[in-house]
Amino acid sequence: MLFTEPLLDEPAPCWKYDLPGPNQPPTTEPYPSVLTNTPNYVNDVYLELPCASMRVRGVGIWGAGVCFLAAFAAVILLLDFIVEVKAFPPLILCVGFFLALTVSVWGGVYFWRMDTEAPSDEPIRFNRLRRKVYVYRFHHDGLHPFSRTAWFVRAEVYDWDDLRAEACSIYGPMGTGGLIQTVTLAVVKPGTNKVIERFHFAHGIQQGETYWAMAQLFMQQGPQTLPTFPSPPRDWNNENVPFNLARRLAPKVQWPAEMDLESRTAP
């Protein structure tokens, strides 16, 4: 059942519809062919799905380079003006210069950090015997690109029964316009529809529905209900990407030791 009115308080930004609850039958049959990446791992205890919030890595570094070049060019133009005229430019030009310099430096640092500090993957583990979900999340703050404390990775654990999945879509500034679709997971206060946490789950509604259906089948019935995947899982921590600087610099996935053991074992 796909609900036409939001179930949660409050729904996700750009909400489109809700997916079935964690203990309801899935409405989508998992088709491996629609998945960008197959599950990282699956056995009788847990299922690990890749859920990187960055769909493309390597572009941000080029964007950072353009921003830094723009900042450098602005400084050179200002110095050249001062040398030629032997005076500071008018106030309005000074304001425009500092705005351009600030935006360029801010954008350069933000694009660089997003491309190189986000982990190689942000996996989610579904432990069917503990009925827990373990989330490896990258937190960042675009308003504070220079902050040391606002950018970090944290592993969190939630109850499976408290998860809700939502499909979202919005037309974004992609050239002449483009539809951006995602599936997010919300954590609700037990016994209510009050959202206390929300995080990214999948790029594209079709992929998100397939991942969510796989998680439902695994948690409800076990790994024997999952389809056969045509390709082996991707080793995110040991990729051979010599020409992608962002992926080479990306931190490896490293779960906290105690949570890593708990998420992979039975109670």
For 195, which DSSP code? E
59-115 confidence digits (pLDDT tens): 899 999 999 999 998 888 888 888 888 777 788 878 888 888 999 999 999 999 999
Give the residue ranges of the chain where pLDDT is below 50.
1, 175-176
Is 160 among the domain residues?
yes
From 78, 100, 117, give the residue that closes a domain.
Answer: 117
From 70, 102, 117, give the residue that closes a domain.
Answer: 117
What is the three-class DSSP state of 215?
A: helix
**Which pLDDT belongs to residue 67?**
94
Rg of the Cα atoms in the chain: 22
163: burial class by Cβ within 10 Å (0-12, 13-18, 19+)?
A: buried
Residues 6+ apart with CB under 8 A from 86: none
Nearest Cα residue to 184 out of 163, 199, 171: 199
Is 95 among the domain residues?
yes
Is 208 among the domain residues?
yes
Nearest Cα residue to 24 out of 48, 3, 50, 5: 3
- The amino acid at residue 81 is F
* 208 and 161 in a common domain: yes
* 113 and 97 in a common domain: yes
* 177 and 46 in a common domain: yes
* 130 and 37 in a common domain: yes
* 101 and 156 in a common domain: no
* 212 and 102 in a common domain: no
From 117, 147, 164, give the residue that closes a domain.
Answer: 117
**Which pLDDT belongs to residue 3?**
56
* 36 and 144 in a common domain: yes
Domains held by the chain: number: 2
**Which residues is 181 bridged to in the sheet?**
169
Is 239 among the domain residues?
no
Q: What are φ and ψ of residue 209, in 5° steps?
A: -65, -40
* 181 and 227 in a common domain: yes
Q: Which helix (H) or strand (E) holds 132?
A: strand 132-139
Is 238 among the domain residues?
no
**Which pLDDT belongs to residue 155?**
96
Cα(91)–Cα(29) distance, integer angstroms: 63
Is 8 among the domain residues?
no
Cα(246)–Cα(116) distance, integer angstroms: 5
**Which pLDDT belongs to residue 176?**
45
Cα(77)–Cα(87) distance, integer angstroms: 13
**Which pLDDT belongs to residue 34?**
82
**Which pLDDT belongs to residue 174?**
52
For residue 111, give its domain range. Answer: 60-117
Is 237 among the domain residues?
no
10 preceded by cis ω (within 30°)?
yes
* 142 and 21 in a common domain: yes
8 Å CB contact between 114 and 60: yes
8 Å CB contact between 199 and 185: yes
Nearest Cα residue to 126 out of 196, 209, 253, 218: 218
* 71 and 172 in a common domain: no
Cα(107)–Cα(132) distance, integer angstroms: 38
* 136 and 41 in a common domain: yes
**Which pLDDT belongs to residue 177?**
52
* 188 and 105 in a common domain: no
Nearest Cα residue to 67 out of 112, 108, 97: 108
Is 249 among the domain residues?
no
Cα(226)–Cα(94) distance, integer angstroms: 62
